[in-house]
C-alpha cells in the first residue's frame, strides 16, 4: 500500500470551502427571491408591533422598551429559522430527491467534510439573516452602531447550533412530512419560551428551568448583550452552552448521517 501523501488531494480547508462554495453559488443564483425576504420579514414584524401591539405594552422588559426587547430577540430567531429550514428540508431534498450528495461524495471530500461544510453554510446564512434584521433595526434606530455590528457573529453561532440540531433530526427522518413534528413541536414553541417575546425571568421556576435549557434562550441572551454593549459574567455560561451544544449535537449528527450516507 502506498502512502496517501503522494496524492495531492485538496487540504481540509479547501474541501470545506468547496462544499460551502457550492451552497453559496446555488443560493445566490436567485438573489432577489432568496435575498429580499430576510429584509422584508423583520420590517413587517416591527411595523406590526410598532404601530399596533407596542402601544399597549408600556412596561420595560429587562431595561428595554418593548420594541427594543423584541427587535434584539429577532436578531437570533431569524438565524434559528433559516438554519433550521436549511438543514431539515434543504438537506433532506439534497439527500433524497436531488441526490446532490451522491455527486459531491464522488469528488475528493469525505462525509465529515460534507456535513461540516453544511454546518458552516448554515452559520453563514445565520450571519446574512441577522445582518438583514440588523439593517432594519438600525434604520428604525432600535439598535445603535457600532455595538450592533457584532450581532452577525451571534447569528453565526445561532446558525451553527441549529444546523447541528436540525441535521441530527434529519438523520432520523424517513419522509419529509416528519419535519412538521420538529417545527411545530420544538422550533415554534421555542420562539415563545426563550425570552424573545417576553422575559423568562418571571416565569414559574419549573418552566423557567426548562427555558434555561433551550438553546435559543442563550442565543437571544448573546444577541441582546451585544446590542446594548453590556457583558455580565453570566454571559460566559451562554457562550459555553453554545460551544458544548455544538460539539455534542454536531458529533451526534455526523455520526448518524454518516451511517446514512456510507452504507
Partner 1 sequence: MRVIRVHNVSKSFAKLCAVNDLSFEVEEGTCFGLLGPNGAGKTTMMKMIYGRSSRDNHNGGGIDVLGYDPARDELAIKYLSGVVPQENNLDDELNVIQNLLIYSKFYGLPGKVAKERIKGLLEFLELLEKIQSPIRELSGGMQRRLVIARALLNHPKLLILDEPTTGLDPQVRHVIWDKIRQLRAQGTTILLTTHYMEEAFQICDMVLIMDKGKQVLEDNPQRLLRENIETYVLEVPIANGTPALCESDPPDGVRLDRTDATMRFYAQGIDPLKSVADKLAGNPYYLRQTTLEDVFLKATGRALNEKQ
Instruction: Determine phi and psi for 61, rounding to 5 degrees.
Output: -120, 120
Q: Is 43 helix (H, G, I), strand (E, B) or coil?
A: helix
CB nearer partner 1, residue 101 or residue 182: 101
Instruction: Give the separation between CA 155 and CA 81, rounded to whole angstroms.
Output: 11
8 binds partner 1 (CB under 8 A): yes
| CB 24, min distance to partner 1, A | 10
CB nearer partner 1, residue 100 or residue 197: 100
Within residues 14-73, the interface with partner 1 by CB under 8 A covers 14-15, 17-18, 21-22, 25-26, 29-30
In angstroms, how far apart are the furthest CA atoms of the chain? 74
Instruction: Give the separation between CA 102 and CA 91, rounded to whole angstroms.
Output: 13
Beta bridge partners of 14: none
Instruction: Give the separation between CA 114 and CA 112, rounded to whole angstroms.
Output: 5
CB nearer partner 1, residue 37 or residue 103: 103
98 binds partner 1 (CB under 8 A): yes
CB nearer partner 1, residue 6 or residue 51: 6
Span from 11-19, 51-59, 156-164, 176-184 in contact with partner 1 (CB under 8 A): 11-19
| CB 96, min distance to partner 1, A | 11
Within residues 108-127, the interface with partner 1 by CB under 8 A covers 108-110
Q: Cell numbers for 253, please give them.
A: 449528527
Looking at 10, 50, 54, 199, which residue binds partner 1 (CB under 8 A)? 10
260 binds partner 1 (CB under 8 A): no
174 binds partner 1 (CB under 8 A): no
- Closest-CA residue to 166 (of 134, 125, 202): 125
Q: Is 16 exposed, middle or buried (0-12, 13-18, 19+ CB in 10 A)?
A: buried
Eight-state DSSP code of residue 64: B
Q: Binding residues for partner 1, per CB under 8 A?
A: 1-2, 4, 6-10, 14-15, 17-18, 21-22, 25-26, 29-30, 98-100, 102-110, 261-263
Amino acid at each position: 500500500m502506498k502512502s496517501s501523501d503522494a496524492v495531492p488531494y485538496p487540504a481540509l480547508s479547501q474541501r470545506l470551502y468547496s462544499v460551502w462554495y457550492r451552497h453559496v453559488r446555488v443560493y445566490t443564483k436567485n438573489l432577489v427571491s432568496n435575498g429580499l425576504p430576510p429584509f422584508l420579514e423583520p420590517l413587517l414584524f416591527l411595523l406590526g408591533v410598532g404601530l399596533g401591539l407596542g402601544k399597549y405594552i408600556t412596561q420595560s422588559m429587562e431595561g428595554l422598551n418593548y420594541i427594543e426587547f423584541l427587535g434584539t430577540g429577532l436578531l437570533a430567531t431569524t438565524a434559528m429559522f433559516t438554519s433550521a429550514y436549511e438543514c431539515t428540508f434543504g438537506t433532506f431534498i439534497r439527500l433524497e430527491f436531488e441526490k446532490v450528495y451522491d455527486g459531491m461524495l464522488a469528488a475528493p471530500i469525505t462525509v465529515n467534510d460534507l456535513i461540516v461544510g453544511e454546518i458552516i453554510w448554515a452559520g453563514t446564512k445565520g450571519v446574512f439573516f441577522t445582518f438583514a434584521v440588523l439593517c432594519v433595526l438600525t434604520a428604525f434606530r432600535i439598535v445603535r452602531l457600532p455595538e450592533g455590528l457584532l450581532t452577525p457573529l451571534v447569528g453565526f453561532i445561532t446558525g451553527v447550533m441549529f444546523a447541528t440540531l436540525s441535521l441530527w433530526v434529519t438523520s432520523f427522518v424517513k419522509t419529509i412530512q416528519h419535519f412538521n413534528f420538529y417545527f411545530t413541536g420544538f422550533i415554534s414553541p421555542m420562539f415563545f419560551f426563550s425570552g424573545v417575546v417576553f422575559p423568562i425571568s418571571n416565569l414559574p421556576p419549573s418552566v423557567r428551568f426548562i427555558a434555561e435549557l433551550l438553546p435559543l434562550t442563550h442565543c437571544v441572551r448573546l444577541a441582546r448583550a451585544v446590542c446594548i454593549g453590556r457583558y455580565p459574567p453570566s454571559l460566559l455560561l451562554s457562550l459555553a452552552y453554545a460551544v458544548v451544544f455544538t460539539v455534542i449535537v454536531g458529533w451526534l449528527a455526523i455520526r448518524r448521517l454518516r451511517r446514512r450516507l456510507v452504507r
